[in-house]
Structure formats: C-alpha cells, structure tokens
Amino acid sequence: MSRKKTAEEYEKTFAFRFFRWLSGEKDPYIGNVEMQPQKKYEPDHEAALRREKEHDAIMDKVYDTGHNRWLHLFHRLYQASSILFCLFLIALLLVTISYLPPNGTVTRPVNNEVSARYIEKGLEETGAVNIVAGMILDYRAFDTLGESHVLFVATITVLILLRLNQSEKDEAEVNDRRFEPKNDAILQLVATFLVPVIIIFGIYIILNGHLGPGGGFSGGAVIGAGLVLYLNAFGFKKTERFFTEKTYKWICFFSLSFYCLAKSYSFYTGANQLHSAIPKGTPGAILSSGLILPLNIAVGLVVACTIYAFYAMFRKGGF
Amino acid sequence: MTAFQIILMGLLIICAVSVSFSKNLLNAILIYMSFSLVMSMLWICLESPDLAITEAAVGAGITSVLFFVTLKKIHAIDASDPEAKEEKENE
Amino acid sequence: MGPNLFANYGEAVSAILFCIGFTNLLLQTNLIKKIIGLNIMDSAIYLFLAEKGYIAGRAAPIVVDGVTSAERYINPIPSGLVLTGIVVSVSVTALMLSLTIRLYTRYHTLDLDEISTQLKREGK
C-alpha cells in the first residue's frame, strides 16, 4: 500500500518538476540565466524586395530557354529520335500489312459466320432494311446506349470545365457580342431559307435510318448544325426562347431513359423466349422494324442537343 | 474505281502532311476539314454510305465548327478578318 | 517482306496516316495541332477497320429486292464499329478543346513548352 503525499511534499519531487517542464508551465532558464530583452520584429521591405529580385534573376537565368545550349541540343535530339521512331513504326506496320491476306477477298478472317448470320437473318429478325442500323440498334444496342451516355458525359464535363459564374457570364456575353455579326441582313435572309431545309433534312435522315444510310447520329448532327446556323444568324435571345438548360436536361433524360427501358424490355423478352408485343411491320415501310425507329429518334435528339450545347458552351460558357 | 481510290488516298496523305507544316492555325483547321471530306468520299468507295453521311456531318461539320469557336475564344482569329467569319457561317 | 503490300494499299495508307498523326503528336508544341494529329490518328484507325470489311464486287449492306444472301453484301460489322467510333471521337475532341481553352485563360499561350516552363517557374 502506497502512502499518499501531501501537496507540499509532492511539489518537491522530481516528477512534479519534470511534468511541469513537459507541459510548458515553467521555463527553467527564465530567472536563473542572464538574458537580454528580445527586440521587436520589424520586416525589412528593402531586403525582401532585393531577395525577390535576386530570385527572379536566378529564375530568369535558369529558365532562359532561348539561350540554353543544352536545351537546344536536347530539342534537336528529341526531334531526330521521334522522326526516326515514326519511320521505324511505319516500316514495322507496312511489313506487318504485307503479310495480311489480300484486300477485298472473301477469305479474310473478318468475314466469318457472324457477319453472314447478321446479313442472312437480319431482315427477318429486326425488320430493318439497312443491316447496319439493324445491327447497331438491335443486336448490339447496348453499344449504342453506352455511346449516347459518352456524349452526355462529355457535355457535362465540358460544362464543368467552361462554366462561368454570373458576373463573369455577363462580361463574357458582352465580349461575345463584340465579335458577333450584328443583325447581318444577308446572313439572316440565308438562314431563314436554309435552317428549315437543314432541319427537315436531318429529320428525314433520322426517320429513314432503318431504310437507307443514315440514322440517329448523322441526323442528329445535321439538326445540330442547323441550330448552330440559326444561333449564329439570330443570336442567343431568339434561341433561348425554345432551348435552355432545362430543355436540354429534360430531352436527354427522357431520351436516355426511354432507350434504357425499351431495350430492357426487348432484351428481357428475347432472352426468355417470350412473345414481344412490338410489331415488326412490313420491311420497307416507314413504320416498321419494331424498336429501331423510336430508338433512332431518341439517339438523334440526344446528339442534336449535345451538338448545340457544345457550341453554346464554347461561345459563352453556358446555355 | 481503284485509280479513284488511290487518288483519294494520296490526297489524304497530302492533307495530313500539310497540316503539320502549315504555320497558320486557321489554315491547319481548314485542311483538316478537307481531310474529313476526302475521307467521306472514300467511305462511299468502300461501300459504307452510313459512315460517309456521318463523317460528312460530324467530321467535316461539327468538329471544324468546334475548332473555329475555340480559335475565336482564344483570339487567334482576328475579328476584323471577314474570311474567318464566313467559314463559320458556311456550316 | 510479304507478298501483299500492294494489294493492301488501303491498309498501307492507313498505317502511314497513323504515323503522320503520331509524329504530329510528338513534334508539334501547339495544342490545337496536337488535337488535329490525334483526330488524324482516329481517322486512320477507322480507315483500317473499314478496309477490313470491304469485299470487292459486293454492294453496301442495304437489302435490295429482299435478297438476303451473304454473297451479295459486304461485312456490316466494321461499319457499325466505326460509326460508334466517329461519334465518340467528336466528344473527345470537344473535351480536349475545352481543356485547351482553360489552359489558355490561365497561361495565355497555346505552346506546351512555354506552359510547362511557366509551371516550373511558379514552383509547382
């Protein structure tokens, strides 16, 4: 059993002094060692400036890329070696290509039973006259869904990178107006005639995607180009009446979710050998080939909005 | 048809090389635009009309417009230069 | 050296284009030209893929008169793949261009060497 010390007794022990020194309550030198009072700190502006100047001069000397002989030598070496490497790459690829089976023949390994099956059964199973459209929107529809999402994500990333806050936006708009052709009569007249034609042509390409060359991507790009021309001729005030951030959000949301749900239904019924409620129609008619036409429309809407959104964001950082 | 394809491919290589040697950024982009157009003709020769129509709309159209907007944004195109504006409107 | 270099001229051109684009990436210091070089490399790959599926004397894969025999049409699979690739390359280009705009607003130059020198000078 240990004996309890009183407070006075404890203050004389080594442990008490040690812990007091450890917690910083008492400095053993103060009062015991002779000391001069400390001077107050005064920042020396001139010295700081001089040091900054010296630092800048050193940096100028170090990063003097114009007069650095070793850097020039390195550049020369870099250029020569990269050209040599590319020549080597060309030679390597050409030698490899010379051993490939000859171009345009049926016996190439690419032309296997997969493509034969797509061609022979494609019209019957998908109802699309254009076999490529039937392939990318029916057999490999998840590919296309991923691609639409790539476009959507790219738009979001560009929006994050180029977004401006409100005051910057106003300033950017003023800057933008300076470069814009203000009410150019020729441009506006041409645009009045051309924009409907371009947009109708885009709609034709989208609606005709399963009957001939075309489809959601190319048609959407044409519609987007028409919108860009309209924007250039008439300015943001007119386009903002029908296309804002909200429009983009809702169009993309509905198109992508419609694509997901429709394709999920068709994959579900296909995988479980169920009867699909979507009629195939007669091949060659405009309302045929089951889901391909609505999916084309969905993809076209996403692409057109994305193209317009890219342009608007590049112009003034937002739309 | 083979001779036509070979001519088109020669044009492709010429365009690709002259992009690297052009001093002006605007010229480089215009040459790239013509590269895409030649490419879309080549798709027709290779019996892929789907690709041709997409390349003409996307490669020659949208990509070049994006390049032009970027150049204008970074003030590489002089605002008083009338040609620069026309190119954008051609889309 | 194999026997088929001149028969495969399409693939040979695509290899040369690929290397031109790659040289552009290595040697150009201007960011916009680098992006164009990357786009040229893209196009070369697409040309290579489309050449793979081409079969001489056959028509585009669009059914005419209900004939669905595999001897009539070219291979549709490379067309589908390239179609996907073209659209993805546009979004990649837009992304790179927006990054270029950000870099320009920060450093006021498009020269990659100058940008890296400025970065080092600032001690980052």
Distance from CA of C55 to the nearest CA of B (A): 9
Q: Which subunits count as partners of chain B given 3+ CB pairs below 8 Å?
A: A, C
Regions in chain A scoring below 70 on pLDDT: 1-2, 165-182, 318-319
**Do the Cβ atoms of C73 and A131 come closer than 8 Å?**
yes
Write down how long chain B is: 91
Across C20-88, the runs of DSSP E, i.e. the strands, are: none
Token output for A313: 């964001």
Across B38-90, the runs of DSSP E, i.e. the strands, are: none
- What pLDDT score was predicted for residue B77? 59
A122: left (phi over 0), alpha (psi -120 to 50) or beta: alpha
CA-based nearest residue to A202, from A309, A280, A299, A292: A299
Which positions in chain C touch A122 (Cβ < 8 Å)?
63, 68, 76
CB atoms within 10 A of CB A263: 18
For residue C40, the chain B residue with the least C-alpha distance is B16
- What pLDDT score was predicted for residue A166? 67
CB atoms within 10 A of CB B43: 23
Which positions in chain A touch C22 (Cβ < 8 Å)?
86, 89
CA A195 vs CA A228, A240, B41: distances in Å: 9, 16, 25
A279 CB within 8 Å of a chain B CB: no
**Do the Cβ atoms of B61 and A221 come closer than 8 Å?**
yes
Contact C9 B70 (CB under 8 A): no
B88 CB within 8 Å of a chain A CB: yes
Which residues are within 8 A (CB) of B26 and not within 5 positions of it... i.e. 6 or more apart? B71, B76, B77, B84, B87
- What pLDDT score was predicted for residue B84? 47
Q: How far apart are the first and last CA of chain B?
A: 30
State the DSSP H helix or E strand holding residue A242, giving kind and residue range, or none if neither: none
C35 falls in which pLDDT band (50, 70, 90)? very high
- What pLDDT score was predicted for residue A151? 85
Distance from CA of A76 to the nearest CA of B (A): 18
Crossing angle of helices B63-73 and B25-45, rounded to 10°:
170
C124 falls in which pLDDT band (50, 70, 90)? low
For chains B and C, CB pairs below 8 A equal 107
For residue C118, the chain A residue with the least C-alpha distance is A63
Average pLDDT over residues B60-80: 78
Which residues are within 8 A (CB) of B13 and not within 5 positions of it... i.e. 6 or more apart? C13, C16, C17, C20
Which residues are within 8 A (CB) of A51 and not within 5 positions of it... i.e. 6 or more apart? none
For chains A and B, CB pairs below 8 A equal 58
Which positions in chain B touch A179 (Cβ < 8 Å)?
72, 79
CA distance A105 to A220: 35
Task: State phi, psi for A104 to the nearest 5 degrees.
Answer: 80, 10
CA B19 vs CA A87, B27, C17, C32: distances in Å: 18, 8, 12, 11
Q: How far apart are the first and last CA of chain A?
A: 82
**Do the Cβ atoms of A306 and A152 come closer than 8 Å?**
yes
CA distance A196 to B41: 26
Distance from CA of B23 to the nearest CA of C (A): 10
CA distance B35 to B64: 11
Average pLDDT over residues B2-31: 89
Contacts with C, B 8-27, CB within 8 Å: 9, 12-13, 16-17, 19-20, 25
CA C47 vs CA A114, A313, C50: distances in Å: 21, 31, 5
Task: State phi, psi for C66 to the nearest 5 degrees.
Answer: 70, 10
Question: Best interface-test mutation with B: which of A204, A210, A222, A306 has the largest number of B CBs within 10 A?
Answer: A222
Which positions in chain C touch B61 (Cβ < 8 Å)?
none
Crossing angle of helices B2-21 and B25-45, rounded to 10°:
160
Distance of CA A63 to the CA centre of its chain: 34
Q: Domain limits at B23?
A: 3-90
Which positions in chain C touch B36 (Cβ < 8 Å)?
43
Contact A213 B53 (CB under 8 A): yes
Q: Between C36, C43, C54, which is nearest B47 by CB?
A: C54
Q: How far apart are the first and last CA of chain C?
A: 50
**Do the Cβ atoms of C69 and A120 come closer than 8 Å?**
yes
Greatest distance between any 2 Cα atoms in chain B: 45
Q: Between C51, C62, C101, which is nearest B46 by CB?
A: C51
CA distance A101 to A1: 97
Q: Which subunits count as partners of chain A given 3+ CB pairs below 8 Å?
A: B, C
B31: left (phi over 0), alpha (psi -120 to 50) or beta: alpha
Contact B65 A228 (CB under 8 A): yes
Q: Between C23, C56, C84, which is nearest A104 by CB?
A: C56
**Do the Cβ atoms of A246 and A296 come closer than 8 Å?**
no
The Cβ-side half-sphere exposure at C73, using a 13 Å CA radius, reads 29
CA distance A167 to A186: 33
The Cβ-side half-sphere exposure at C17, using a 13 Å CA radius, reads 31
Is 50 exceeded by the pLDDT of residue B91? no
Residue that the structure tokens 């003409």 belong to: B56
Domain count of the fold of chain B: 1
Token output for C112: 């990659």
Structure confidence by residue, pLDDT tens digits, C52-104? 888 877 878 888 777 777 777 888 888 888 888 888 898 899 999 999 988 88
Using DSSP, state whether C30 is helix, strand or coil: strand
Q: Between B57, B70, B73, which is nearest A218 by CB?
A: B57
CA distance A100 to A95: 9
Which residues are within 8 A (CB) of A82 and not within 5 positions of it... i.e. 6 or more apart? C23, C26, C27
Token output for B25: 């950024």
Question: Best interface-test mutation with A: which of B36, B55, B89, B90 has the largest number of A CBs within 10 A?
Answer: B89
Distance from CA of C95 to the nearest CA of A (A): 6
Which positions in chain A touch C53 (Cβ < 8 Å)?
110-111, 115
Average pLDDT of the residues of chain B: 81
Which positions in chain A touch B61 (Cβ < 8 Å)?
221-222, 225
Question: Best interface-test mutation with A: which of B40, B53, B67 has the largest number of A CBs within 10 A?
Answer: B53
Which residues are within 8 A (CB) of C103 and not within 5 positions of it... i.e. 6 or more apart? C31, C110, C115
